[in-house]
């Protein structure tokens, strides 16, 4: 947390109001120059559960790892200093994991606020992430975007320890952590209720920092795709020969992967070559039986159409194809 004084009182109040009270707060001040340290120190003096950790400005990953090194509980709950938790957040997420021992962690539903600041893209993302609940939902959507909102993470401490905690690889640290958990076979879900009010503001780290650009997300997902689902396949078939598919293919090549073909419905594109790979109609997929398919399209509804076409062709989601945009 850095320079969050205007929002901290509301965040603190939401944690004070938690119906489940047996928790500790590790609040990292990452070099704030406003009144944040004073607000946190006053809270710590009033509440023995609160510990203020101060460090020079080093960024979110060192801050998260500083907290993790001090944490004593069996669960790690994440929250940003500008957000607001519903009073039952901890109770509901803890109960969810108690009743689902096979899960390594969970998220919850979110609502962006203030609503006047939420644009169409934010509303679409909010709607999308709030449909992801089961481990199967998480897995089939993992390569599209981070399927659990970071400030709702509620993870078993030992599961995070087993994958080495948070690391900085130049792309989103939360997305990277979920990929590494999934890669070990960990299962994740989400409470089917909005338990966090997620603040929108212009200076948010996820808007400003280069680690959260579309290019950074793309590098992350392709890194893990080539290392897992597509590792033993005869290259990729990219469904979508538009800007999203082309950008995806370029990064695949950058990371040493191979795109064997593009699939597109536009007859004007079929027969062209993109980055050395032919553009084929869906019926041409039979020529690439050992390739792994990725749906790289952004148009509303197109992703589901591709999923249906691949399933009709006898391909199984996750085993043979995945949506990546």
CATH number of the domain at 247, please: 3.40.50.720
- Give the sign of the dihedral formed by CA 204, CA 209, CA 215, CA 221: negative
Residue 3 falls inside a structural domain = no
Residue range of the domain that includes 133: 8-211
Please, are residues 324 and 144 in contact by the beta-carbon 8 Å criterion?
yes
**180 and 223: one domain?**
no
**244 and 200: one domain?**
no
Show the tokens assigned to 291. Answer: 């390739």
Please, are residues 197 and 149 in contact by the beta-carbon 8 Å criterion?
no
Q: Please classify residue 120 by burial: count the beta carbons closer than 10 Å to its beta carbon, then call 0-12 exposed, 13-18 middle and 19+ buried.
A: exposed
**117 and 257: one domain?**
no
**156 and 274: one domain?**
no
Residue 2 falls inside a structural domain = no
**33 and 182: one domain?**
yes
Rg for the chain, CA atoms, rounded:
21
**194 and 243: one domain?**
no
Question: What values do phi and psi take at 251, rounded to 5?
Answer: -70, -35
Q: What domain count does the chain have?
A: 2
- Give the sign of the dihedral formed by CA 189, CA 193, CA 195, CA 200: positive
Residue 1 falls inside a structural domain = no
Question: What values do phi and psi take at 11, rounded to 5?
Answer: -65, -50
Q: Which residues neighbour 233 within 8 Å (Cβ) at sequence distance 6 or greater?
A: 290, 291, 292
**279 and 189: one domain?**
no
**153 and 113: one domain?**
yes
Question: What values do phi and psi take at 123, rounded to 5?
Answer: -65, -40
Residue 305 falls inside a structural domain = yes
**170 and 227: one domain?**
no
Task: Among 211, 226, 242, identify where a domain stops.
Answer: 211
Instruction: Look up the CATH number of the domain holding residue 26.
Output: 3.90.550.10
Please, are residues 189 and 106 in contact by the beta-carbon 8 Å criterion?
yes
Please, are residues 259 and 288 in contact by the beta-carbon 8 Å criterion?
no
Residue with tokens 């030992």: 158
Task: Among 158, 177, 211, identify where a domain stops.
Answer: 211
**38 and 150: one domain?**
yes
Distance (Å, whole) CA 321 – CA 292: 6
**19 and 105: one domain?**
yes
Show the tokens assigned to 74. Answer: 């069996």
Task: Among 211, 228, 244, identify where a domain stops.
Answer: 211
Residue 268 falls inside a structural domain = yes
Residue 15 falls inside a structural domain = yes
CA atoms in the 13 A half-sphere facing the CB of 215: 6
Residue 189 falls inside a structural domain = yes
**276 and 178: one domain?**
no
Strand-pair partners of 279: 262
pLDDT values of the chain reduced to their tens digit, one per residue, 325 residues: 688 999 999 999 999 999 999 999 999 999 899 999 999 999 999 999 999 999 888 999 999 999 999 999 999 999 999 999 999 999 999 999 999 999 999 999 999 999 999 999 899 999 999 999 999 999 999 999 999 999 999 999 999 999 999 999 999 999 999 999 999 999 999 999 999 999 987 655 555 578 999 999 999 999 999 999 999 999 999 999 999 999 999 999 999 999 999 999 999 999 999 989 999 999 999 999 999 999 999 887 899 999 999 999 999 999 999 999 9
């Amino acid at each position: 947390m850095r320079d969050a004084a205007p929002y901290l009182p509301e965040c603190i109040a939401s944690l004070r109001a938690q119906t489940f009270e047996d928790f500790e707060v590790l609040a990292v001040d990452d070099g704030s120059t406003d009144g944040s340290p004073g607000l946190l120190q006053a809270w710590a003096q009033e509440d023995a559960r609160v510990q203020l950790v101060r460090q020079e400005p080093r960024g979110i990953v060192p801050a998260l790892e500083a907290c993790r090194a001090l944490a004593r509980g069996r669960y790690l709950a994440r929250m940003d200093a500008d957000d607001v938790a519903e009073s039952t957040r901890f109770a509901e997420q803890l109960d969810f994991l108690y009743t689902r021992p096979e899960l390594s962690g969970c998220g919850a539903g979110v609502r962006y606020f203030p609503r006047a600041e939420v644009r169409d893209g934010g509303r679409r993302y909010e709607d999308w992430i709030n449909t992801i609940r089961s481990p199967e939902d998480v897995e089939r959507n993992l390569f599209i975007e981070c399927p659990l909102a970071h400030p709702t993470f509620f993870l078993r401490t030992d599961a995070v320890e087993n994958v080495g905690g948070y690391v900085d690889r130049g792309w989103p640290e939360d997305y990277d952590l979920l990929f590494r958990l999934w890669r070990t076979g960990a299962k994740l879900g989400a409470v089917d209720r909005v338990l966090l009010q997620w603040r929108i503001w212009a200076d948010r780290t996820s808007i400003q920092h280069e680690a959260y650009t579309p290019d950074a997300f793309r590098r992350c997902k392709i890194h893990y795709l080539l290392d897992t689902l597509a590792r033993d396949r005869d290259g990729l078939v990219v469904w979508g020969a538009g800007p999203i598919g082309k950008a995806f293919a370029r990064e695949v090549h950058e990371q040493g992967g191979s795109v064997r073909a593009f699939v597109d419905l536009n007859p004007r594109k079929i027969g062209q070559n993109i980055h050395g790979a032919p553009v084929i109609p869906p019926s041409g997929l039979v020529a690439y039986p050992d390739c792994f398919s990725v749906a790289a399209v952004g148009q509303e509804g197109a992703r589901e159409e591709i999923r249906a076409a691949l399933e009709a062709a006898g391909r199984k989601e996750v085993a043979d194809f995945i949506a990546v945009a």
